[in-house]
Amino acid sequence: MPKDYAAEILGGSSTAVARLITWLEDEDERAYQCMVKLYRHTGNAYIIGITGSPGAGKSTLTDRLTSHIRKAGLTVGIIAVDPSSPFTGGAILGDRVRMSEHNLDPDVYIRSMATRGFLGGTSKATGDVVKVLDAFGKDVVIIETVGVGQDEVDIIGIADTTCLVLVPGLGDAIQSMKAGIMEIADVFVINKADRAGADQLWAEVCYRVEQDAHIKSTDWSPTMVKTVAVNNEGVDDLWKAIGQHQDHLKNSGKLLEKRRERTYRETLRMIHNELFRVVREQLDSTGQLDHLVEDILDHKQDPYTVMRQIVKNWLSISQK
């Protein structure tokens, strides 16, 4: 009889968790079977997103924040999404393994994931991995990711509370890339706040937050926190700020609303990915597309008409 990985995960096996996450990354069919069983055990974890430029000190901050959460008696799952190459991804993984003081704590589960795959593969896997750690019983799940690119914005969209980590002196070009992310930040963290330029950055972010408050009709005005993560300074303030945002979401009914939207997006994305999987499998196995590609290259057919015809032939909903 094959091992029941879902049961093992619910029983506390971190080895089974690691195996399942690998299956999720590889889009292995066994992952699907497990997730079906695990789903009803999800919905309890609070999800925190930590994002910011490379070099902003996200890993250290996550590490220190984890200590605070552990002291509060809660268990933690950490998902570090690295935009590194599948070929060279080992470097950042190594970094993380080296830095964490929580490696020996059974109540902290840490997983690095490379950003990879075609068409938002990671975003999908990240949402699933959050569910795994949720079902695994972690009270808080932290997603740590570099805040650039649509994929990362999508990933951070999974979080209940999103913290954007900024640091003085990283330069305008990089900070401006954060524009898309700035709008979804619930808590701004000025890390390395002992550095020159911290006050100016604080003032800039203040100005930005106030401006946004005028433009957007929102009932949450982002909190701002100063930290020096390496010295463990301000991390308690960050944890408090997250707690305040959590209370706000719960009391206003926004948490349910947020999770409803997330479930909608995630289900839509799952359908999107599943469609692609089935279509690709079908086209690859029949060789149908190979012939069409030759015709398209020879300009005997155009890809737009081909695409519409294939879709028309395949979809049965139109007839129903």
Amino acid of residue 210 = E
CA 260 to CA 246: how far, in whole Å? Answer: 16
Q: C-beta of 7: minimal distance to a second copy in Å? A: 16
- Return the number of the residue (44 or 71) whose C-beta is nearest a second copy: 44
Report if residue 94 touches a second copy, rule: CB under 8 A. Answer: no
Site for a second copy in 101-120 (CB under 8 A): 115-120
**Separation of first and last alpha carbons in the chain:** 41
Report if residue 211 touches a second copy, rule: CB under 8 A. Answer: no
Place of tokens 């999107």: 272
Report if residue 291 touches a second copy, rule: CB under 8 A. Answer: no
Number of amino acids touching a second copy (CB under 8 A): 85
Q: C-beta of 240: minimal distance to a second copy in Å? A: 28
CA 257 to CA 251: how far, in whole Å? Answer: 12
Site for a second copy in 15-34 (CB under 8 A): 32
Report if residue 169 touches a second copy, rule: CB under 8 A. Answer: no
- Return the number of the residue (159 or 241) whose C-beta is nearest a second copy: 159
Q: Which of 69, 182, 185, 228 binds a second copy (CB under 8 A)?
A: 182
Whether 93 contacts 82, CB under 8 Å: yes
Site for a second copy in 50-79 (CB under 8 A): 53-55
CA 43 to CA 48: how far, in whole Å? Answer: 14
Report if residue 209 touches a second copy, rule: CB under 8 A. Answer: no
Kindly indicate which of the ranges 71-79, 84-92, 221-229, 239-247 contains the residues binding a second copy, using the contact rule CB under 8 A: 84-92
Whether 227 contacts 190, CB under 8 Å: yes
Q: C-beta of 303: minimal distance to a second copy in Å? A: 5
The alpha-helical segments, DSSP class H, found in 42-141 are 58-71, 90-99, 121-135
Q: Which of 203, 206, 213, 268 binds a second copy (CB under 8 A)?
A: 268
Q: Which of 154, 166, 198, 229 binds a second copy (CB under 8 A)?
A: 154
Count CB atoms within 10 A of the CB of residue 282. 13
**Length of the chain counted residue by residue:** 320
Residue 26: which of 163, 149, 112, 121 has the closest Cα? 121
CA 73 to CA 44: how far, in whole Å? Answer: 15
- Return the number of the residue (6 or 241) whose C-beta is nearest a second copy: 6
- Return the number of the residue (220 or 276) whose C-beta is nearest a second copy: 276
Helix (H) or strand (E) holding 140: strand 140-146
Q: C-beta of 17: minimal distance to a second copy in Å? A: 17
